[in-house]
Chains A and B, each alone.
Chain A
Amino acid sequence: DQQVKQNSPSLSVQEGRISILNCDYTNSMFDYFLWYKKYPAEGPTFLISISSIKDKNEDGRFTVFLNKSAKHLSLHIVPSQPGDSAVYFCAASARAGNNRKLIWGLGTSLAVNP
């Protein structure tokens, strides 16, 4: 039973257009969400995050939107560039005792075409 779902395994976008990657979650205890980017043969790298007290966080070309009532978040990349082609993982964090649990989605493979 996946608590964090990225329902689109892949996405193809034209260079210069907007890329929208979606993520749904089921656990209302999640209070912090992160997006990671992964190139082939490399580990994931942190991209952007958002706390559940916010509904938007922006960093350059990357914006994450959070809709708590729908338990949905999305990552917008605009304008998309060929170098953005990678696998994007959504992760959700919740308190677990003195620690925090981080649950990952399966990832969405983004291809930005020149």
Chain B
Amino acid sequence: ETGVTQTPRHLVMGMTNKKSLKCEQHLGHNAMYWYKQSAKKPLELMFVYNFKEQTENNSVPSRFSPECPNSSHLFLHLHTLQPEDSALYLCASSQAIPGQQNTEAFFGQGTRLTVV
């Protein structure tokens, strides 16, 4: 139990579907992240939220839409995805202190997404 829970664990969706990934952290952290892990690529940071405010969007296509209603919950809304978006989507949280190096993040188990 890492304190970061992601649902669903597996998702298969068509290119015209709309679905959402959910992440919840029970660690009292103030920062949450969405990462994408594709085969043979490094972990790619998609979005960062600090204190519920989005602070980073790493050129992610608009078919991925994050939502952070509070510091414990993070969603990733998906619509009109492409087969190449199939990947493992990982949520993480950390206690971010501006300027400090402590950036250990706690990860959820991920959602394995397949777009058909």
Contact = CB atoms under 8 A, between A and B. Distances in A.
Contacts, number: 60
Interface in A20-39: 31-32, 34, 36
Interface stretch (B14-22, B39-47, B64-72, B75-83): B39-47
A42 interface: yes
B109 A41 contact: yes
Interface residue range, chain B: 20 to 34
Contacts of B45: 101-102
Given A43-B109, A99-B56, A106 B103 contact: no
For the complex of A and B, list the 6 residue pairs with the smallest distance between their C-beta atoms, beginning with the closest: A43-B107, A104-B43, A32-B101, A104-B42, A46-B104, A44-B107
Interface of B: 2, 4, 6, 40-43, 45, 48, 50, 55-56, 90-92, 96, 98-99, 101, 103-110
